[in-house]
Amino acid sequence: MSKTTWTPIEDVLTGDYAGKPVHLRGWIYRTRSSGNIVFMTLRDVTGVLQATVKRGNLPDAEFEDALKALIESSVQVTGVVKEDTRAPGGYELQVSSLTMVQFAEPFPITKDQSPEFLLDQRHLWIRSRKLTSILKVRSTVVGAIHSFFRGQGFYEFDAPVLQPNQCEGGSTLFEVKYYDEKTYLSQSWQLYAEAGIFALEKIYNMGPTFRAEKSKTSRHLSEFWMAEMEAAWMDLSDVVSIAKDEVKYILAQVLKHNKKDLEVLGQDVTKLETIRMSEFPTITYTEALQILKDKEGMEIDWGKDLRTVEEDKLMNHFLTPVVVTHYPREIMAFYKPSDKKDPKTALCFDMLAPEGYGEIVGGSQRSTDIAAMTQRLTQMGERVENYDWYFDLRRYGSVPHAGYGLGVERLVAWICKAENIKDAIPFPRTLLRFRP
Ligand code: 4AD
Ligand code: MG
């Protein structure tokens, strides 16, 4: 017996199979019957196709199965492809044989259900067209991050997920029992990367990152994926320019591979093309405050961090991502050095996405001054001796270096026009949810 060739739905929709028989397999996406006809929409990973099942065109028992089958039942069908301008996609299948793989029970997800219900049913909801499209974009983004860095001679370098120290502030640490001691889930790969650069010079990583964020927002997850890079001999301007190139490269890959998905998601492909080809402006924190004052009438005291509202108001004035550098030193993480030219500012940057998607990248040059870092850690109430291994990196062949982290879900949410960051990851973990 020869092996069956299964045709992907997207190939049927090209028209190449018009008038020809094909075998398809997938799931019933929609179904309705009228007398002796069942109109089924079938879906597979590549798309959806209307299938017409007429009594008399296939064995009676198979027609009865078609009548009975509920949505999300898994099926294999054979039929002839016919051009039909009324069908979505312009083609339909006239079914001559139907094999039920499994009769689905009544599917719990119907129209107009609440976001919370859909999150409870996440294991079923990820097969929706919207989430399938986002997951395809996410896959492209992840692949692009690897190829971007590898293409530039970066090595992939792994850090432990269980870490004894904070990197981004103690308040968002997730504590884990570690035999008789306690440790924390990684907030960042960075501190270990700063050790790795002495061996490999240019390194990157993408991995799960954990923050016990105590607020509910549409931008924060408790578990998210961060793509980070760290490089010896680089300064702030070097890493800012790599971050811009990286985001543009990712956009180019998504535009190359996921146009159809972006259309399903209602994203404007031409707009993303334009953004990809545009210069991303770089401004300082001080200039950002000036824009907020002049154009939004917002007076922010110099020294305050930009909150979500301010970031959003600022981004009202830009169509592309914007890099903001030189935030106030005092409110920054302990490893961010002050700028010698203006010591109250730090050699750091954030990249903000347009349209209210917030900070997608955060990074900096790294301090090489043990005394300054010790002072900052002490102010923060940290036990400085825990950082002694990290200070060794400044004792044995210290070099200027810099790096940044990109929030994969923030970027995916922006590219996909998602309303909430939760839709940018298959199974979101937030303040209120770690199930299913
Ligand atoms: O700005 P952050 O906190 O930077 C760091 O962790 C640095 N140690 C990275 C480095 O220099 N290697 O986080 C980096 C990015 C943010 O810009 C944001 O996009 C994302 O990670 N991010 C989050 N994404 C989703 N949920 C959260 N709770 C996030 N916190 C940060
Ligand atoms: Mg940040």
Q: d(Cα 388, Cα 232) in Å, to the nearest integer?
A: 20
Q: d(Cα 279, Cα 363) in Å, to the nearest integer?
A: 19
349-378: b or e for each residue (b if 16 or more CB lie within 10 Å)?
A: bbbbbbeebbbbbbbbbbbeebeebeebbe
Residue written as token pair 């998504």: 254
Q: What pLDDT does 295 receive?
A: 97
Confidence check: pLDDT of 336 > 80: yes
Q: Which atom of ligand 1 is nearest to the CA of 363?
A: 11
Backbone angles phi, psi at 231, to 5 degrees: -145, 135
Which of 394, 397, 338, 327 has the alpha carbon at shortest distance from 365? 338
Q: What pLDDT does 320 receive?
A: 98
Tell me if 213 CB under 6 Å of ligand 1: yes
Residue nearest to atom 30 of ligand 1 (CA): 220
SS3 108: coil
Residue nearest to atom 17 of ligand 1 (CA): 361
Tens-place pLDDT, residues 360-398: 999 999 999 999 999 999 998 999 999 999 999 999 999
DSSP string, 73-92: -EEEEEEEEEE-TTSTTSEE
Q: d(Cα 203, Cα 150) in Å, to the nearest integer?
A: 9
Residue nearest to atom 4 of ligand 1 (CA): 362
For residue 241, the number of C-alpha atoms closer than 13 Å in the C-beta half-sphere is: 4
Tell me if 247 CB under 6 Å of ligand 1: no
Tell me, in angstroms, the distance from the centre of ligand 1 to residue 149's CA.
18
Tell me if 403 CB under 6 Å of ligand 1: yes
Tell me, in angstroms, the distance from the centre of ligand 1 to residue 361's CA.
7
Tens-place pLDDT, residues 72-116: 999 999 999 999 999 889 999 999 999 999 999 999 999 889 999
Tens-place pLDDT, residues 32-66: 999 999 999 999 999 999 999 999 999 999 999 99
Tell me, in angstroms, the distance from the centre of ligand 2 to residue 349's CA.
8
Residue nearest to atom 20 of ligand 1 (CA): 407
Q: What pLDDT does 184 receive?
A: 97
Tens-place pLDDT, residues 209-236: 999 999 888 999 999 999 999 999 999 9
Tell me, in angstroms, the distance from the centre of ligand 2 to residue 318's CA.
20
Alpha helices in 6-121 (DSSP H): 9-12, 60-68, 115-120
Which listed ligand is nearest to 352 at the C-alpha? 1
Tell me if 223 CB under 6 Å of ligand 1: no
Q: Which atom of ligand 1 is nearest to the CA of 167?
A: 8
Longest dimension (CA), the chain: 85
Tell me if 204 CB under 6 Å of ligand 1: no
Q: d(Cα 2, Cα 5) in Å, to the nearest integer?
A: 9
Q: What pLDDT does 88 receive?
A: 86
Q: d(Cα 400, Cα 232) in Å, to the nearest integer?
A: 6
Helix 370-379 / helix 388-395 crossing angle, nearest 10 deg = 160
Which of 209, 336, 347, 404 for a ligand 1 pocket mutation test, highest count of atoms within 8 Å of Cβ? 209
Query: Side chain identity at 117, as an amino acid letter?
Result: F
Which listed ligand is nearest to 191 at the C-alpha? 1
Tell me if 191 CB under 6 Å of ligand 1: no
- Band (1; pLDDT cuts 50, 70, 90): low
Tell me, in angstroms, the distance from the centre of ligand 1 to residue 22's CA.
48
Segment 160-178 shows an average pLDDT of 94
Q: Are strands 401-407 and 181-185 parallel, antiparallel or unpaired?
A: unpaired
Q: Give the residues across from 76 on adjacent strands.
A: 25, 99
Which listed ligand is nearest to 224 at the C-alpha? 1
User: Is residue 427 exposed (0-12), middle (13-18) or buried (19+ Cβ within 10 Å)?
Assistant: middle
DSSP string, 131-187: HHHHHHHHHHHHHHHHHHHHHTTPEE----SEESS-SS-GGGPPEEEETTEEEEE-S
Which of 141, 359, 422, 425 for a ligand 1 pocket mutation test, highest count of atoms within 8 Å of Cβ? 359
Which listed ligand is nearest to 159 at the C-alpha? 1
Residue written as token pair 């005291």: 301
Q: What pLDDT does 170 receive?
A: 87
Tell me, in angstroms, the distance from the centre of ligand 2 to residue 294's CA.
25
Tell me if 418 CB under 6 Å of ligand 1: no
SS3 423: helix
Tell me, in angstroms, the distance from the centre of ligand 2 to residue 404's CA.
9
Which listed ligand is nearest to 327 at the C-alpha? 2
Tell me, in angstroms, the distance from the centre of ligand 2 to residue 223's CA.
15
Q: d(Cα 208, Cα 206) in Å, to the nearest integer?
A: 7
More confident residue, 112 or 430: 430
Asked whether the beta carbons of 401 and 366 are under 8 A apart, the reply is yes
Residue nearest to atom 2 of ligand 1 (CA): 362
Confidence check: pLDDT of 244 > 80: yes
**In the predicted model, what is the mean pLDDT of the chain?**
96
Q: Which atom of ligand 1 is nearest to the CA of 406?
A: 15
Tell me if 194 CB under 6 Å of ligand 1: no
For residue 136, the number of C-alpha atoms closer than 13 Å in the C-beta half-sphere is: 22
pLDDT above 90: percentage of residues in the chain: 96
